[in-house]
Amino acid sequence: MLTDRDERALLAATENRIARPLRIGAALASVRRTLARRSHARTQQRESVACHPAHTPIHP
């Protein structure tokens, strides 16, 4: 027979087992978004530098 304390402990353990993958999934999604933003920003910087003509004249 389970006491109230035992039932609460089992319930808490079950909730933690359910919630842990959700927290990990949210954290991984956040990391993915951050990395995607950084990658996109780097690509934009490279393109913008390459697309702008040099301001100094080129001497033969």
**pTM for the structure as a whole:** 0.45
Q: Is the dihedral of CA 25, 28, 30, 36 positive or negative?
A: negative
| pLDDT tens digits for range 9-25 | 999 999 988 888 888 88
Residue 26 CB contacts under 8 Å (≥ 6 apart), including other chains = none
Residue 31 has pLDDT above 60, yes or no: yes
Q: Name the residue among 28, 26, 24, 25 with its Cα closest to residue 36.
A: 28
| pLDDT tens digits for range 39-57 | 877 777 665 555 555 566 6
2 contacts 10 by C-beta, under 8 angstroms:
yes
pLDDT at 48: 56
More confident residue, 49 or 31: 31
**Is residue 60 very low, low, confident or very high in pLDDT (cuts 50, 70, 90)?**
low
